[in-house]
Structure 1
Amino acid sequence: MAMNKLKTLAAGAIAVAGTISAAQAADTVTFQLDWLPGGDKAPVYVCIEKGFCAEEGIEVKVEPGRGSSEAITKLSTGVSDIGSADIGALMAAKVTEGVPITAVMSIFNKGPHAFFVLKDSGIEKIEDIKGKEVATSPFTSSNVFLPLVLKDVGLSEDDIKLTKADPGALGPMLMNESTDVIIAWMTNVAIFTNQAKQADKEIVAFPWDAAGLELYSASLLASDKFLSERPDVAKRFVKAFKKSLEYVKANPHEAAVAMVAQVPELSVADIEGAIKDTMVLEFNDVTDKDGLGALKAGRLAATWERVSAAQGLDKDALDPETAVDRSFLPES
């Protein structure tokens, strides 16, 4: 009996030691958000909460952000290893600053930008915003592409009355009709829909990709230092992130619960709504054709063509292929 007890204690000690050893062996990765936590950021929190990152031997620390430019700065200076930000912002930063960052996976294979109007506004297509009051937030990347979208439908900025307001004020401005149109992301459909219901109104969204703005947007970007010094860790993280993205699609409610467990100041209902809004940017006809996370040469080139035109950059200043490395993306 005593011998069996000693054996049990020894086995337990070995198991504990193994657990401690595994914990000590976990690779730490700092993940950089391009904005505050929200439903579109659910995959990285699911990766942590559901253990997908741990399965790959990775412990993740999440850093909040305030836009793609800040995220790119933090990645380029080594504050963070990998994160989500707009690939167009990366391309521009490579031309203007030569940042040592590379895209390894697409997240949004369609741009999130859109016009939102009230259903009874009489605006039935983008061209109908001519002469209307249009409100946008000061720092959204949508403002960069606005002139191109207007040009695609035969309009210019002179054809609209553009004002800028705090992002949180855009929805209420539309509902109380102090503006005819707002510019926001498709990830906000649930929020605006709920605001409209409270005002006994309905909204309609006009995504800009339907007007010809076909491009990659939010992507997984990594510092070149991280990719060169810890390539195996990077590959394992991308694998775990992709698995998390697929889980979020299949289980939006459970994903929202998992995210709120990590960020308790958020609400499950709001996060679940935002997750469902985000799915159209991640899982769509482009995904069906090219695969989840793909960075196809044609769409990549089209993205750079749009970005360079929007920001007045020399199109020949960058080969967009130099901004990506597809080798870290797991095979389907």
Structure 2
Amino acid sequence: MSMLKGTRLALALGLSTLAAAPMAAEAADELKPVVFSLDFIPLGRHAPWYAAVEEGFFAEEGLDVTIIPSQGTAQVMQAIASGTAQFGFVDLPGVVLAQAGGTDIEMISVNYQKSPYAIFSLANGGDVQDIAQIEGLSLGSGAGSITPKVIGGFMSQNGLSASSLEIVNVAPPARASALLSGQVPAIEFFVMAKPGLEKAAKEAGTELRTFLLADNGLELYSNGIGALGSYLDENPDVAEGFVRAAMRGWKFTLDNPEKAADHIVKNVDGLDHDVVLAEIEVVRNLAVTDDVKEHGLGWFSPEKMKTGVEFVIDNVGVDGTAPEAGSIYRSEFLPEPAILP
């Protein structure tokens, strides 16, 4: 597992003399500590958050941001609900499920305009390149994963039989080998796994096929910044500053991927610079859409939010009271003027 070496921004940027030390200490006292939880261990896809720290964007908003890892959506939600983190990289399905369970987490930006759900196969295996090929497919997935439910809902929307999808229980660490060895004709993973799988397929003498649901009609927002509604009520200026600095980090990363890769590699042990660059390009496809080019990074449509909430309720299902779409998000913390990619 990659381990964090350091996630806090040095507060005395550019101050090299001993005489400046008291001034640096005074500046440090004025910064408000904030914890941000990733959705997983730090990987190349998370470069924008580290860029925002290292480039001083959070500090310019008066924030001293610490980035912590997690082991998935549920853990991010727990960190936010318990106050361990003030902000987290949450996804829309997770927020719907959390609110249904009584946890008042709201989204204040959407960074992945496209959902990262992908079906991977090999040219000499499942060779999935069209939606019709999903019907009757044997798919390596994990017990408890909501992804098969998302895929099933996507199939139903397109007139296919969701019940025809055969789920083969394969733990995430074993999925790549199960695919490459032919144990299963296809697996599901987030699309960020594409660079590694593509390399492995090439070494095995074949080609990887990537079927990204979002590029084939799935209208479902995914990850963005989330926080407790009560925290947002009490700290609107912090939330506004955090989102603005984060979106600047995203813009910096998209404009300067090499430098952004340097920043995260500096902070996280075990990351490969080239793999980080490849993941940045994958998330670029998720983050930069025509809507974002027009309205700015982090922007979202209330109509598409409503569509996404209804999709989750209808296809993933909720325990408890299904939330109204309007309770899932707040848009007042998005930057003005918008930060365009």
- Residue 90 of structure 2: aligned partner: 85
Bigger radius of gyration: 1
Kindly, what percent of the aligned residue pairs are identical?
Answer: 27
Output the TM-score relative to the length of structure 1: 0.89
The equivalent residue for 2:107 is 103
Residues 13 and 105 (structure 1), Cα distance of their counterparts in 2 relative to 1, 3 Å cut? same
Look up the match of 2:160.
155
- Deviation track 1:209-238 (CA, whole Å, cap 9, x = no partner) reads 234320111010012343223222221111
Q: Partners of 2:135 and 2:315 in 1: how far apart?
A: 21
Distance 1:132 1:310, change over 3 A: closer
Structure 2 match to 1:64? 69
Report if aligned partners of 2:129, 2:210 keep a CA contact under 8 Å in 1.
Answer: no
CA distance in 1, matches of 2:309, 2:174: 32
Equivalent residues of 1:95, 1:317 under 8 A apart: yes
Superposed displacement of residue 295, structure 1 = 2.1
- SS of the equivalent of 2:303 reads helix
- SS of aligned partner of 1:29: strand
TM-score, normalised to structure 2, is 0.87
CA distance in 1, matches of 2:289, 2:314: 26
Summarize deviations over 1:245-295 as a string: whole Å, max 9, x none: 111111222211110111022221221111111111101233234432112
Could you tell me whether the CA contact under 8 Å between 1:43 and 1:244 is conserved in 2?
A: yes
Q: What residue number does 1:5 align with?
A: none
Which range moved further: 61-70 or 102-111?
61-70
User: Mapping of 1:128-147 within 5 angstroms?
Assistant: 128-147=133-152
- Coordinate RMSD, CA, aligned: 2.1
Alpha-carbon contact 2:128-2:211 (below 8 Å) kept = no
Question: Which of the two has greater helix per residue?
Answer: 1
Contact 1:118/1:201 (8 A) holds in 2:
yes
CA distance in 2: counterparts of 1:264 and 1:215, whole angstroms: 33
Q: In the TM superposition, what is the alpha-carbon distance from 1:199 to its structure 2 partner?
A: 0.9
Tell me the equivalent position of 1:115.
Answer: 119
Are 1:46 and 2:51 an aligned pair? yes
SS at match of 2:108: strand
Distance 1:101 1:261 in 2: 32
Matched residue of 1:85: which SS? strand
The counterpart of 1:304, out of the listed 304, 309, 312, is: 309
**Structure 1 unaligned regions, length at least 5:** 1-11
Once the two structures are TM-superposed, the CA of residue 135 in structure 1 deviates from its matched residue by: 0.6
Question: Deviation at 1:113?
Answer: 0.5
Could you list the per-position Cα deviations for residues 47-79 of structure 1 after superposition, in whole angstroms to 9, with x for gaps in the alignment? 112222122221111121121122112211211
User: What are the equivalent positions in structure 2 for 1:219-258 lying under 5 Å apart?
Assistant: 219-258=224-263
Match of 2:193 in 1: 188
